[in-house]
């Protein structure tokens, strides 16, 4: 090897060694997160978990609150693409209408993780993984509680009214599906009225007032797709001079502190847990995705059912 080649080889080796010795620390992972909104206690706990986990994990989090509007989520995702974030995560407010913007993220080679809620897309490669609850099973759990309760008084017809979550959202569609699948087993259980309360206390109260004003049939059971709507409905039931939890059995989903307090007051009969504390799992998943590791397409969270009888014992353990 001639002297010139040897010297340039030495130079290259020394600069590489020099480079290795002073390599800058890996830049923190940058995540763009589009959140549904701040519509419920569950959502607030979910946001807190994601922000705390990002801080804990040294992830730079760009967080956008969509105020329950899909167009705001699409705008946020486009902004994350323009900022060239490392990974995009979001909880889709509704199931449909995501193909175009997710194709833009794919074209920009930015991986997308779904948290909490699912999407309906033509091409499943538009997202890498979906981490969240099984909402159909949550609806089944609510239905099973009612079946067991109804079995104590087999002859009675039970008139059920239903407060649905946000129209077109995965939890609303799936919780309805799971509940109806289970109560179909008892012809005495009938849903006479069903309307969206948009997962909020205010709307839940408003719709329950309308159900009560209809006075077409005595209401025996309220099935609410989340605790916030149930708590709003409890106010409407009391204002109508009825006893929530006694005159009208109330079944809801989420397992937030407000539900445990309502159960302790004898105003709510059961809440099906839906775990919002997805932050740590999301950060871990994002790191694996950005590192190019193969990850599970679907990651579900483990959840329980909490009837009023266990509320006092369980309340001190609740983390949201
Ligand atoms: C469920 C989540 C739902 C909660 C509601 O994972 O998407 O949205 O049940 C929240 O409280 O508004």
Q: How confident is the model over 207-234, as pLDDT tens digits?
A: 999 999 998 889 999 999 999 999 999 9
- Angle between helical axes of 279-290 and 41-57 (0-180°, round to 10): 50
Is residue 39 within 6 Å of ligand 1 at its C-beta? yes
Is residue 138 within 6 Å of ligand 1 at its C-beta? no
Tell me the CA–centroid distance for residue 175 and ligand 1, in Å. Answer: 11
Question: What pLDDT shows up at residue 29?
Answer: 97
Atom index in ligand 1 nearest the CA of residue 227 equals 11
What's the mean pLDDT in 140-166? 96
User: How long, in residues, is the chain?
Assistant: 320
Tell me the CA–centroid distance for residue 1 and ligand 1, in Å. Answer: 69
Pocket test for ligand 1, best of 34, 38, 42, 166 (most atoms within 8 A of CB): 42
Per-residue confidence at 23, pLDDT binned at 50, 70, 90? low
What's the mean pLDDT in 87-109? 98
Atom index in ligand 1 nearest the CA of residue 117 equals 7
Comparing 21-30, 46-55, 245-254, which segment has the lowest mean pLDDT? 21-30
Can you name the CATH fold of 30-132+276-302? Rossmann fold (3.40.50)
Measured distance CA(112)–CA(145) in Å, rounded: 36
Is residue 171 within 6 Å of ligand 1 at its C-beta? yes
Is residue 175 within 6 Å of ligand 1 at its C-beta? no
More confident residue, 27 or 291: 291
User: Which CATH architecture describes the domain 135-274?
Assistant: 3-Layer(aba) Sandwich (3.40)
pLDDT more than 70, % of the chain: 92
Is residue 199 within 6 Å of ligand 1 at its C-beta? yes
Is 187 exposed, middle or buried, given 0-12, 13-18 or 19+ CB atoms closer than 10 A? exposed
Which residue, among 274, 268, 262, has the nearest Cα to 245 in the 3D structure?
268
More confident residue, 302 or 127: 127
Is residue 47 within 6 Å of ligand 1 at its C-beta? no
Three-state SS for 222?
strand
Average pLDDT, the chain: 93
CATH 3.40.50.2300, the chain: domain bounds: 30-132+276-302, 135-274
What's the mean pLDDT in 128-148? 97
Residue with the nearest Cα to atom 11 of ligand 1?
42
| CA angle centred on 104, ends 99 and 109, rounded to 5° | 120
Residue 17 has pLDDT above 80, yes or no: no
Q: Which pLDDT tens digit goes with each residue over 154-201?
A: 888 999 999 999 999 999 999 999 999 999 989 999 999 999 999 999
Q: Which residues contact 230 (CB under 8 A, 6 or more apart)?
A: 163, 204, 222, 224, 250, 252, 259, 262, 268, 271
Cβ atoms 34, 40 nearer than 8 A: no
Tell me the CA–centroid distance for residue 202 and ligand 1, in Å. Answer: 15
What's the mean pLDDT in 139-163? 96
Residue 286 has pLDDT above 60, yes or no: yes
Atom index in ligand 1 nearest the CA of residue 228 equals 11
Is residue 133 within 6 Å of ligand 1 at its C-beta? yes
Question: What pLDDT shows up at residue 181?
Answer: 98
Q: Which pLDDT tens digit goes with each residue over 252-267?
A: 999 999 999 999 999 9
Per-residue confidence at 14, pLDDT binned at 50, 70, 90? very low
Tell me the CA–centroid distance for residue 293 and ligand 1, in Å. Answer: 29
Q: Strand ranges (DSSP E) for the chain?
A: 30-35, 60-65, 87-90, 112-115, 129-132, 158-164, 189-196, 221-224, 249-254, 270-273, 298-300, 305-307
Residue 316 has pLDDT above 50, yes or no: yes
Per-residue confidence at 3, pLDDT binned at 50, 70, 90? low
């Amino acid at each position: 090897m001639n002297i010139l080649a040897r010297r340039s080889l030495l130079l290259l080796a020394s600069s590489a060694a020099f480079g290795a010795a002073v390599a800058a620390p890996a830049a923190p992972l940058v995540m763009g997160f589009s959140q549904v909104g701040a519509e419920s206690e569950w959502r607030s706990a979910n946001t807190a978990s994601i922000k705390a986990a990002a801080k804990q994990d040294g992830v730079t989090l760009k967080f956008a609150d969509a105020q329950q509007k899909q167009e705001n989520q699409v705008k946020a995702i486009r902004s994350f693409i323009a900022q060239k974030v490392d990974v995009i995560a979001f909880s889709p407010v509704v199931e449909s209408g995501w193909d175009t913007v997710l194709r833009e993220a794919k074209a920009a080679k930015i991986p997308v993780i779904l948290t909490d809620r699912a999407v309906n897309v033509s091409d499943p490669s538009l997202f890498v993984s979906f981490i969240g609850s099984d909402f159909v099973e949550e609806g089944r759990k609510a239905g099973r509680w009612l079946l067991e309760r109804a079995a104590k008084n087999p002859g009675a017809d039970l008139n059920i009214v239903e407060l649905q979550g946000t129209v077109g959202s995965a939890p609303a569609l799936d919780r309805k599906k799971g509940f109806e699948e289970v109560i179909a087993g008892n012809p005495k259980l009938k849903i006479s009225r069903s309307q969206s309360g948009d997962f909020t206390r205010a709307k839940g109260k408003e719709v329950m007032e309308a159900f009560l004003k209809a006075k077409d049939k005595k209401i025996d059971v309220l099935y609410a797709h989340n605790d916030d709507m149930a708590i709003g409905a409890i106010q409407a039931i009391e204002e109508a001079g009825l006893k929530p939890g006694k005159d009208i059995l109330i079944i809801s989903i989420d397992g937030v502190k407000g539900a445990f307090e309502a159960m302790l007051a004898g105003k709510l009969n059961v809440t099906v847990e839906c775990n919002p504390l997805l932050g740590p799992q999301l950060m871990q998943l994002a790191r694996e995705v950005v590192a190019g590791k193969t990850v599970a397409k679907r990651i579900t969270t483990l959840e329980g059912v909490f009837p009023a009888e266990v509320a006092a014992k369980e309340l001190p353990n609740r983390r949201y």
